[in-house]
Amino acid sequence: MFNEGSLENVTAGIDPSRPVLIAGPTASGKSALALDIARITGGPVVNADALQVYADWRVLTARPSVADETACPHVLYGHVPGERSYSVGDWLREVAPLLSKAPVIVGGTGLYFTALTEGLADIPEVPEDVHQTAMARTQAKDMTGLLAELDAPTLARIDVQNPMRVQRAWEVLTATGRGLADWQDATGPALLPLDQAQTFLINAPKDWLTPRIERRFDLMIKGGALAEARANAPGWRADRPASKAIGAAELVAHVTGDMTLEAAREAVIIATRRYAKRQRSWFRARMKNWRVVSPN
Protein backbone atom coordinates (compact mmCIF):
# COMPACT_ATOMS: atom_id res chain seq x y z
CA MET A 1 0.00 0.00 0.00
CA PHE A 2 1.12 3.55 -0.56
CA ASN A 3 -0.37 6.77 0.68
CA GLU A 4 -2.21 9.06 -1.70
CA GLY A 5 -2.82 11.78 0.86
CA SER A 6 -6.21 12.93 2.07
CA LEU A 7 -9.63 12.32 0.55
CA GLU A 8 -9.93 15.93 -0.54
CA ASN A 9 -6.95 15.44 -2.90
CA VAL A 10 -8.15 12.17 -4.46
CA THR A 11 -10.19 13.71 -7.26
CA ALA A 12 -7.30 15.72 -8.73
CA GLY A 13 -5.78 12.94 -10.84
CA ILE A 14 -8.86 10.90 -11.76
CA ASP A 15 -8.96 9.48 -15.29
CA PRO A 16 -12.64 9.61 -16.39
CA SER A 17 -12.12 6.76 -18.86
CA ARG A 18 -11.13 4.13 -16.28
CA PRO A 19 -13.22 2.45 -13.55
CA VAL A 20 -12.72 3.67 -10.00
CA LEU A 21 -12.83 1.32 -7.01
CA ILE A 22 -13.35 2.73 -3.51
CA ALA A 23 -13.18 0.48 -0.46
CA GLY A 24 -13.17 1.21 3.23
CA PRO A 25 -14.78 0.27 6.53
CA THR A 26 -18.31 1.22 7.42
CA ALA A 27 -18.90 4.91 8.22
CA SER A 28 -15.59 6.01 6.66
CA GLY A 29 -17.06 8.37 4.05
CA LYS A 30 -16.92 6.11 0.98
CA SER A 31 -20.28 7.07 -0.49
CA ALA A 32 -19.60 10.80 -0.37
CA LEU A 33 -16.24 10.31 -2.09
CA ALA A 34 -17.85 8.10 -4.75
CA LEU A 35 -20.43 10.77 -5.50
CA ASP A 36 -17.74 13.45 -5.80
CA ILE A 37 -15.77 11.32 -8.26
CA ALA A 38 -18.86 10.32 -10.25
CA ARG A 39 -19.69 13.97 -10.78
CA ILE A 40 -16.28 14.30 -12.47
CA THR A 41 -16.29 11.08 -14.50
CA GLY A 42 -19.96 10.93 -15.42
CA GLY A 43 -20.01 7.21 -14.67
CA PRO A 44 -22.58 5.53 -12.44
CA VAL A 45 -21.99 4.81 -8.76
CA VAL A 46 -22.15 1.04 -8.35
CA ASN A 47 -22.77 -0.65 -5.01
CA ALA A 48 -20.22 -3.13 -3.64
CA ASP A 49 -21.85 -3.71 -0.26
CA ALA A 50 -23.49 -7.07 0.33
CA LEU A 51 -26.33 -5.69 2.46
CA GLN A 52 -27.08 -2.50 0.57
CA VAL A 53 -28.40 -4.65 -2.29
CA TYR A 54 -31.51 -5.48 -0.24
CA ALA A 55 -34.73 -3.49 -0.44
CA ASP A 56 -35.70 -3.90 3.22
CA TRP A 57 -33.28 -1.56 4.97
CA ARG A 58 -32.37 1.69 3.27
CA VAL A 59 -31.58 3.84 6.30
CA LEU A 60 -30.07 1.13 8.49
CA THR A 61 -27.61 -0.03 5.82
CA ALA A 62 -26.63 3.58 5.01
CA ARG A 63 -27.63 3.41 1.38
CA PRO A 64 -27.24 6.68 -0.53
CA SER A 65 -30.05 9.15 -0.01
CA VAL A 66 -32.75 9.84 -2.58
CA ALA A 67 -31.11 13.21 -3.18
CA ASP A 68 -27.77 11.55 -3.94
CA GLU A 69 -29.42 9.05 -6.27
CA THR A 70 -31.09 11.95 -8.06
CA ALA A 71 -27.80 13.81 -8.43
CA CYS A 72 -26.03 10.86 -10.07
CA PRO A 73 -27.09 7.40 -11.32
CA HIS A 74 -26.72 4.73 -8.62
CA VAL A 75 -26.86 1.04 -9.52
CA LEU A 76 -27.31 -2.22 -7.58
CA TYR A 77 -28.78 -0.57 -4.50
CA GLY A 78 -31.93 -1.96 -2.90
CA HIS A 79 -32.87 -4.08 -5.90
CA VAL A 80 -32.98 -7.52 -4.24
CA PRO A 81 -35.97 -8.78 -2.17
CA GLY A 82 -34.98 -9.37 1.44
CA GLU A 83 -35.78 -13.09 1.38
CA ARG A 84 -33.63 -13.86 -1.67
CA SER A 85 -30.04 -15.06 -1.38
CA TYR A 86 -27.57 -12.93 -3.31
CA SER A 87 -24.04 -14.19 -3.82
CA VAL A 88 -20.80 -12.62 -4.95
CA GLY A 89 -21.34 -14.50 -8.22
CA ASP A 90 -24.71 -12.75 -8.64
CA TRP A 91 -23.00 -9.43 -8.03
CA LEU A 92 -20.26 -10.11 -10.58
CA ARG A 93 -22.83 -11.03 -13.23
CA GLU A 94 -24.62 -7.73 -12.66
CA VAL A 95 -21.43 -5.67 -12.53
CA ALA A 96 -19.92 -7.11 -15.73
CA PRO A 97 -22.03 -5.10 -18.22
CA LEU A 98 -21.41 -1.90 -16.24
CA LEU A 99 -17.62 -1.97 -16.53
CA SER A 100 -17.64 -0.36 -19.98
CA LYS A 101 -19.27 2.74 -18.46
CA ALA A 102 -16.25 3.66 -16.30
CA PRO A 103 -18.22 3.13 -13.08
CA VAL A 104 -17.32 4.26 -9.59
CA ILE A 105 -17.65 1.04 -7.59
CA VAL A 106 -17.87 1.64 -3.87
CA GLY A 107 -18.47 -0.48 -0.79
CA GLY A 108 -17.15 -2.31 2.20
CA THR A 109 -17.53 -5.94 1.10
CA GLY A 110 -13.93 -6.93 0.45
CA LEU A 111 -14.90 -10.23 -1.17
CA TYR A 112 -16.72 -8.39 -3.96
CA PHE A 113 -13.62 -6.39 -4.80
CA THR A 114 -11.22 -9.34 -4.70
CA ALA A 115 -13.57 -11.41 -6.84
CA LEU A 116 -13.79 -8.55 -9.34
CA THR A 117 -10.04 -7.90 -9.54
CA GLU A 118 -8.66 -11.41 -8.93
CA GLY A 119 -11.39 -13.67 -10.32
CA LEU A 120 -14.02 -15.93 -8.79
CA ALA A 121 -14.15 -19.71 -8.66
CA ASP A 122 -16.97 -21.21 -10.72
CA ILE A 123 -18.60 -23.08 -7.83
CA PRO A 124 -21.86 -24.92 -8.60
CA GLU A 125 -25.00 -23.73 -6.86
CA VAL A 126 -25.44 -25.29 -3.43
CA PRO A 127 -28.61 -27.44 -3.12
CA GLU A 128 -31.30 -25.94 -0.92
CA ASP A 129 -31.29 -28.81 1.58
CA VAL A 130 -27.56 -28.34 2.19
CA HIS A 131 -28.06 -24.60 2.60
CA GLN A 132 -30.90 -25.09 5.08
CA THR A 133 -28.87 -27.56 7.12
CA ALA A 134 -25.95 -25.15 7.24
CA MET A 135 -28.24 -22.26 8.15
CA ALA A 136 -29.78 -24.24 11.01
CA ARG A 137 -26.35 -25.09 12.39
CA THR A 138 -25.24 -21.48 12.11
CA GLN A 139 -28.32 -20.29 13.96
CA ALA A 140 -27.66 -22.93 16.62
CA LYS A 141 -24.16 -21.41 16.96
CA ASP A 142 -22.48 -24.66 15.95
CA MET A 143 -19.39 -22.89 14.63
CA THR A 144 -17.04 -25.32 16.36
CA GLY A 145 -18.72 -28.24 14.64
CA LEU A 146 -18.73 -26.61 11.22
CA LEU A 147 -15.08 -25.61 11.52
CA ALA A 148 -14.10 -29.12 12.60
CA GLU A 149 -15.55 -30.52 9.36
CA LEU A 150 -13.71 -28.18 7.00
CA ASP A 151 -10.63 -29.16 5.02
CA ALA A 152 -7.32 -27.80 6.29
CA PRO A 153 -6.50 -25.50 3.31
CA THR A 154 -9.89 -23.79 3.53
CA LEU A 155 -9.66 -23.53 7.31
CA ALA A 156 -6.34 -21.74 6.98
CA ARG A 157 -7.71 -19.27 4.44
CA ILE A 158 -11.14 -18.12 5.61
CA ASP A 159 -12.11 -15.69 8.37
CA VAL A 160 -13.06 -18.21 11.07
CA GLN A 161 -14.64 -15.42 13.15
CA ASN A 162 -17.23 -14.74 10.44
CA PRO A 163 -20.14 -17.22 10.73
CA MET A 164 -21.34 -16.61 7.17
CA ARG A 165 -17.89 -17.32 5.71
CA VAL A 166 -17.67 -20.52 7.77
CA GLN A 167 -21.16 -21.53 6.70
CA ARG A 168 -20.38 -20.90 3.03
CA ALA A 169 -17.19 -22.97 3.21
CA TRP A 170 -19.07 -25.85 4.83
CA GLU A 171 -21.84 -25.68 2.22
CA VAL A 172 -19.35 -25.81 -0.67
CA LEU A 173 -17.43 -28.76 0.78
CA THR A 174 -20.61 -30.67 1.60
CA ALA A 175 -22.26 -30.02 -1.75
CA THR A 176 -19.27 -30.55 -4.05
CA GLY A 177 -16.83 -32.73 -2.16
CA ARG A 178 -14.15 -30.09 -2.81
CA GLY A 179 -12.95 -27.51 -0.34
CA LEU A 180 -13.52 -23.83 -0.98
CA ALA A 181 -9.76 -23.26 -1.13
CA ASP A 182 -9.47 -25.87 -3.89
CA TRP A 183 -12.19 -24.13 -5.90
CA GLN A 184 -10.55 -20.76 -5.35
CA ASP A 185 -7.20 -22.08 -6.57
CA ALA A 186 -8.90 -23.00 -9.86
CA THR A 187 -10.19 -19.45 -10.30
CA GLY A 188 -10.64 -18.07 -13.80
CA PRO A 189 -9.49 -14.66 -15.08
CA ALA A 190 -10.61 -11.48 -13.38
CA LEU A 191 -13.30 -9.29 -14.90
CA LEU A 192 -11.32 -6.18 -13.98
CA PRO A 193 -7.61 -6.73 -13.28
CA LEU A 194 -6.34 -4.35 -10.65
CA ASP A 195 -3.99 -2.54 -13.03
CA GLN A 196 -6.94 -1.52 -15.20
CA ALA A 197 -8.71 0.31 -12.36
CA GLN A 198 -8.08 3.33 -10.16
CA THR A 199 -8.17 2.05 -6.60
CA PHE A 200 -8.64 3.89 -3.32
CA LEU A 201 -8.70 2.32 0.12
CA ILE A 202 -9.78 4.58 2.95
CA ASN A 203 -7.60 4.17 6.01
CA ALA A 204 -9.97 4.78 8.94
CA PRO A 205 -8.27 4.29 12.32
CA LYS A 206 -10.38 2.97 15.18
CA ASP A 207 -10.17 6.15 17.27
CA TRP A 208 -11.33 8.24 14.32
CA LEU A 209 -14.04 5.83 13.20
CA THR A 210 -15.73 4.99 16.51
CA PRO A 211 -17.33 8.41 17.14
CA ARG A 212 -18.49 8.49 13.51
CA ILE A 213 -20.18 5.12 13.99
CA GLU A 214 -21.96 6.43 17.07
CA ARG A 215 -23.08 9.65 15.37
CA ARG A 216 -24.24 7.81 12.29
CA PHE A 217 -26.43 5.45 14.31
CA ASP A 218 -28.08 8.40 16.06
CA LEU A 219 -28.70 10.01 12.67
CA MET A 220 -30.20 6.76 11.43
CA ILE A 221 -32.67 6.77 14.31
CA LYS A 222 -33.64 10.35 13.50
CA GLY A 223 -33.74 9.56 9.79
CA GLY A 224 -36.22 6.69 9.79
CA ALA A 225 -34.53 3.52 10.98
CA LEU A 226 -37.27 2.87 13.54
CA ALA A 227 -39.92 3.20 10.86
CA GLU A 228 -38.00 0.63 8.81
CA ALA A 229 -37.91 -1.68 11.82
CA ARG A 230 -41.67 -1.36 12.29
CA ALA A 231 -42.21 -2.14 8.62
CA ASN A 232 -40.02 -5.25 8.89
CA ALA A 233 -41.30 -6.46 12.26
CA PRO A 234 -44.43 -8.31 11.04
CA GLY A 235 -43.30 -11.76 9.97
CA TRP A 236 -39.72 -11.05 11.08
CA ARG A 237 -37.37 -13.95 10.40
CA ALA A 238 -33.74 -13.90 11.45
CA ASP A 239 -32.78 -16.31 8.67
CA ARG A 240 -33.76 -13.96 5.83
CA PRO A 241 -30.63 -12.66 4.09
CA ALA A 242 -31.60 -9.02 4.63
CA SER A 243 -32.01 -9.67 8.35
CA LYS A 244 -28.21 -9.86 8.62
CA ALA A 245 -28.05 -6.06 8.38
CA ILE A 246 -26.24 -4.81 11.47
CA GLY A 247 -28.84 -3.50 13.89
CA ALA A 248 -31.85 -5.10 12.23
CA ALA A 249 -32.50 -7.66 14.96
CA GLU A 250 -31.97 -5.12 17.74
CA LEU A 251 -34.26 -2.47 16.27
CA VAL A 252 -36.98 -5.00 15.58
CA ALA A 253 -36.62 -6.18 19.18
CA HIS A 254 -37.02 -2.58 20.29
CA VAL A 255 -40.14 -1.79 18.27
CA THR A 256 -41.76 -5.03 19.45
CA GLY A 257 -41.08 -4.15 23.08
CA ASP A 258 -38.32 -6.67 23.77
CA MET A 259 -35.40 -4.24 24.10
CA THR A 260 -34.96 -0.64 25.15
CA LEU A 261 -33.63 1.81 22.60
CA GLU A 262 -30.62 2.44 24.82
CA ALA A 263 -29.76 -1.27 24.91
CA ALA A 264 -30.31 -1.57 21.17
CA ARG A 265 -28.06 1.42 20.51
CA GLU A 266 -25.24 -0.03 22.60
CA ALA A 267 -25.51 -3.45 20.96
CA VAL A 268 -25.58 -2.02 17.43
CA ILE A 269 -22.59 0.25 18.00
CA ILE A 270 -20.56 -2.63 19.42
CA ALA A 271 -21.52 -4.88 16.49
CA THR A 272 -20.65 -2.14 14.00
CA ARG A 273 -17.25 -1.56 15.58
CA ARG A 274 -16.52 -5.29 15.41
CA TYR A 275 -17.59 -5.37 11.78
CA ALA A 276 -15.31 -2.43 10.97
CA LYS A 277 -12.44 -4.27 12.64
CA ARG A 278 -13.06 -7.33 10.44
CA GLN A 279 -13.17 -5.10 7.38
CA ARG A 280 -9.85 -3.47 8.24
CA SER A 281 -8.29 -6.92 8.74
CA TRP A 282 -9.52 -8.03 5.31
CA PHE A 283 -8.26 -4.89 3.62
CA ARG A 284 -4.82 -5.21 5.21
CA ALA A 285 -4.53 -8.83 4.13
CA ARG A 286 -6.05 -8.68 0.65
CA MET A 287 -5.61 -5.11 -0.63
CA LYS A 288 -1.91 -4.51 -0.24
CA ASN A 289 -1.63 -3.01 -3.73
CA TRP A 290 -4.46 -0.51 -3.35
CA ARG A 291 -3.76 3.19 -2.93
CA VAL A 292 -4.45 4.31 0.59
CA VAL A 293 -6.08 7.62 1.41
CA SER A 294 -6.55 9.23 4.79
CA PRO A 295 -10.03 10.43 5.76
CA ASN A 296 -10.76 14.13 6.12
Where are the domains positioned within the chain?
A: 2-120+195-203+284-294, 128-185, 206-277
Q: Pick the closest to residue 82 from 234, 204, 197 (CA basis).
A: 234
- Residue 12's pLDDT is 81
What percent of the chain is predicted at pLDDT more than 90?
86
pLDDT tens digits for range 177-192: 999 999 988 888 999 9
Reported as a pLDDT band with limits 50, 70 and 90, residue 58 is very high
Please give the full DSSP string across 192-233, using - where no structure is assigned: S-GGGSEEEEE---HHHHHHHHHHHHHHHHHHTHHHHHHHH-
CATH class of 206-277: mainly alpha
What does the CA dihedral 266, 147, 158, 121 come to, rounded to 10 degrees?
-120
Nearest partner of 241 among 174, 167, 145, judged by Cα? 167
- Which band of pLDDT confidence, cut at 50, 70 and 90, is reported for residue 2? very low
**Per-residue pLDDT at 295:** 82
For domain 2-120+195-203+284-294, the CATH class is alpha beta
Q: State residue 123's pLDDT score.
A: 86
Which pLDDT band, with edges at 50, 70 and 90, does 5 fall under? Answer: low
Between CA 28 and CA 102 the distance in angstroms is 23
CATH of domain 128-185: 1.10.20
The pTM for the full model equals: 0.83
pLDDT given for residue 23 in this prediction? 98
More confident of the two residues 52 and 165: 52
Asked if 63 and 254 count as a contact pair (C-beta separation under 8 A), the reply is: no
> Is pLDDT of 240 > 60?
yes
Per-residue pLDDT at 122 = 80
Comparing 6-15, 29-38, 53-62, 93-102, which segment has the lowest mean pLDDT?
6-15
Residue 3, pLDDT above cutoff 70: no
